[in-house]
Structure 1
Amino acid sequence: MAKGPLSNIRVLDMSRILAGPWAAQMLADLGAEVIKVERPGKGDDSRQFGPPFLKDAEGRNTRESSFYISTNRNKKSITCDIAKAEGQALIRSLVAQCDVLLENYKVGDLQRYGLDYASLREVNPRLVYCSLTGFGQTGPYSPRPGYDSIFQAMGGLMSITGLPDDVPGGGPMKTGPSLADILAGQYAAYAIQAALYARDVNGAPGQHIDVALLDALIASTSHYASQYLVSGDVPVRRGTEGNGGMPSRMFQCADGGIMIVAGNNEQYARFCAVLGHPELATDERFAEIALRVVNRRALGEVFEPLVASWKLHDLLEALDAAGVPAGPINDMQQVFADPHVQARGMCVESSHPLAADGKVRLVANPVKFSATPISDYKAPPVQGEHTEGVLGELLGMDASAVQALRERGVV
């Protein structure tokens, strides 16, 4: 089996819930050894974020929530109480053996335990220390706690997501997934790899990386933010309308929803031909992309009844044959039943000691490597599953020493 691109990297994951664990999971998928640190007894907060929970052989809920499962594959789990001096000493000893530390505690919280960057770089000057917080390490809001929906609101995403104010159901809308966490986690994962490259190739020292969920969310508004910064015009919500050519929106067929994007004039003309109205390609209101953007309401009024007369499957086939981009509005069951998604291997199975059938299904990493493929998926660990192994391998502790720590509540 090919080694992952980060197979020589060891990560201490002291983060909880989503953004930090997501970043650590990305590194684990790439082959890094990721050691997740959990509180004795309670563990990662996300273990409680259910239902649903993974079921055991008797049909009972385990402590493995679907939320926790989504963001902790390919990791090891140890337990350690960092509020105890012995726990802090264990973390410092592990840091000496690690390349990366990830944490998402409140700003300044780890300083009281001597586990902040300034303290730990004395233990390991080569350490890449990444802090993920809601508002960052600096700025007037840095002490505040926060969650994804707060950042979607404050960062502008909700203002550009949802239906316009002047239609039924209009108003700001949160996205389904917790995108602020996911995006911050992705930014953190790539920043960590850049810092490792700078250290190992360019001779830079270890360093502290500061990633804020609010910053990541704002950066990810991309062309919407650029639209405002360039023009001064505040972007508005447009429902399912996209940002390319027109039409670019959801339509209702006779038996379901379809997303259609005519990204240029040629695709638009082919769309008109499929619907049996080629004359609309030269209609003075719609002949160019800019005209279709300006006249988007009229465009919808013309095309909505034309699309509504079609069966979804029939229209998808006709548009595909004509080279017009389109897709159905799938729910999750339909997503994973799609033959293309299956061919791309986007669902994988892994052995799990608590699952009823001994297996858990996971969403695969979407990246496909030719020489170092991501092919070895390990199930998210049971809390503390690897405590003895990690402390024994890295710190030379035998089973009796670990048991003594367990009896004192350190692990």
Structure 2
Amino acid sequence: EGRDILKKLAAHVDVIIENGTPGQWDKWGIGYRQLSKLNPRLVYCWVGQRGQWGPLRDKPGMRDPVAQCASGFVHGTGDPKEFGGRPTRSGMWVADHVGGTAAAMGIVAALLHRERTSGKGQLIEATAAEGIIRILDYNWVWHGMDGSIRPRYGNWDLAINIYAVNPCKDGYMMVGGGHDRLWYRIWKTVGDEVPQAEEEILADTNLRNISERLPHTRQVKTYTLLCEWLKDNTRAEAERKLVRQEVASGGVLAVHEVAEYPHFKYRGQVEEFDDQLYGKVLVASSPHLAEKIPARLKWIGRPVGHDNEEVYRRLLGFTRDDFDRLGKHGVI
């Protein structure tokens, strides 16, 4: 009876998203093959970790960390083995976020195709592992050129000398020197207070172009000299001095510092939201600001089934007797 209810709902909706075991909804007669016959305009999106097809397709229990590991992301993250490091997964659920974003973009593309071209919906599949595989583009170019595997290098960068997080007086500081103009502006800033550091860098003929700066021993030298300056500067002081020279830089902020950071506060990126179920909750607002379609937050984390009665009543005409009977039998 529950499947019959879902079929009736499918006739009214634009999009269905599900993440059941591959093929499970088809076996139940409520997969895309069946529902698209009832609603040809339906966009049906399946989301998971590795996909519905293939020898390693999703099985129960697979979660975000499995996708991170399967995609190559974890292998390339963390300190090198030589430094006592090991592969490190992201502290955030990055695979779920990237996979979910891929699903959202696929859904929007399918809806546009339906409205502008075909008049019909389609099946969309988005996986967390393949979402991460897509964003590791630098690794694929590296491997494709000579078969090598991009190694872990911790906070430092294999392609840019001075593009890393390093300690400063009150925490950690990110400084980016991706090209010669920034490189020399960094050392001009340092030289204002530690002139011998700037002089040593300028005198070293091995540091005069980007590619020659990359060997590990040369990175050790430049970061050592940079940290001699950073240790006497707070994050705010270092950022102010570097930005004065138009150098990309910024301190590593904890969550409580982000919440009070003047720039983000001015733009309303962290705000208190008064939710109808949970009261006042601190949340991050929409990352995109739009002139004609401003984002708005209606609610957060609604319990599963919270809107069932409203939806069933509005779309299917259910009455209180229907809810009591279906609830009693565990259908909804």
Q: Same fold (TM over 0.5)?
A: yes
CA distance in 1, matches of 2:321, 2:59: 42
CA distance in 2, matches of 1:95, 1:344: 39
Match of 2:72 among 148, 151, 156: 156
1: CA distance, partners of 2:227 / 2:272: 42
Question: Offset of 1:308 from its aligned partner?
Answer: 2.1
User: CA–CA distance in 2 between the matches of 1:243 and 1:96?
Assistant: 53
Task: Return the alpha-carbon distance in structure 2 between the equivalents of residues 225 and 342 of structure 1.
Answer: 38
Structure 1 residue identity aligned to 2:329: R
Identity %: 26
Paired letter, 2:39: N
- 1:71-82 equivalences under 5 Å are none
Cα-to-partner distance string for 1:241-277 (whole Å, 9 max, x where unaligned): 2466421011211221111111211111111111114
SS of alignment partner, residue 214 of structure 2? helix
Match of 1:268 among 169, 183, 187: 183
Which structure's residues are more often helix, by fraction? 2
Can you list the C-alpha shifts for 1:324-352, whole angstroms capped at 9, x where unaligned? 11111111111111111112222244333
CA distance in 2, matches of 1:370, 1:242: 37
Report the structure number with the largest CA radius of gyration: 2
**Pairwise CA distance, 1:315:** 1.6
Matched, 1:290 2:206: no
In the TM superposition, what is the alpha-carbon distance from 1:239 to its structure 2 partner?
Answer: 1.0
**Is contact 1:259–1:326 with CA below 8 Å preserved after alignment?**
yes
5+ residue gaps, structure 2, are none
1:378 has 2:299 as partner: yes
Unaligned runs of 5+ in 1: 1-85
TM-score of the two chains, using structure 2 as the length reference: 0.91
> After the TM superposition, which residues 12-411 of structure 1 pair with which residues of structure 2 at under 5 Å, given as runs?
86-145=1-60, 146-168=62-84, 170-203=85-118, 205-242=120-157, 245-276=160-191, 277=195, 278-279=198-199, 280-281=201-202, 283-294=204-215, 295-355=218-278, 358-411=279-332
- Could you tell me the TM-score, scaled by structure 1's length? 0.74
**What SS is found at the alignment partner of 1:132?**
strand
Which amino acid in the other structure matches residue 390 of structure 1?
V
Secondary structure of 1:240's aligned partner:
coil
| C-alpha distance in structure 2 between counterparts of 1:366 and 1:138, whole Å | 34
Paired residue secondary structure (1:237):
coil
Taking only aligned residues, the RMSD between alpha carbons, in angstroms, comes to: 1.8
Residue by residue over 1:63-117, the C-alpha shift from the partner in whole angstroms, topping out at 9 and shown as x without a partner, is xxxxxxxxxxxxxxxxxxxxxxx21111111110001110111101112321111
Report the Cα distance in structure 2 between the residues aligned to 1:118 and 1:248, rounded to whole angstroms. 50
Moved segments of 4+, more than 4 Å: none
- Work out the number of aligned pairs and report it: 323
- Deviation per CA, 1:158-215: give whole Å up to 9, x if none: 11111111114x1111111111111110011001110111111112522111222221
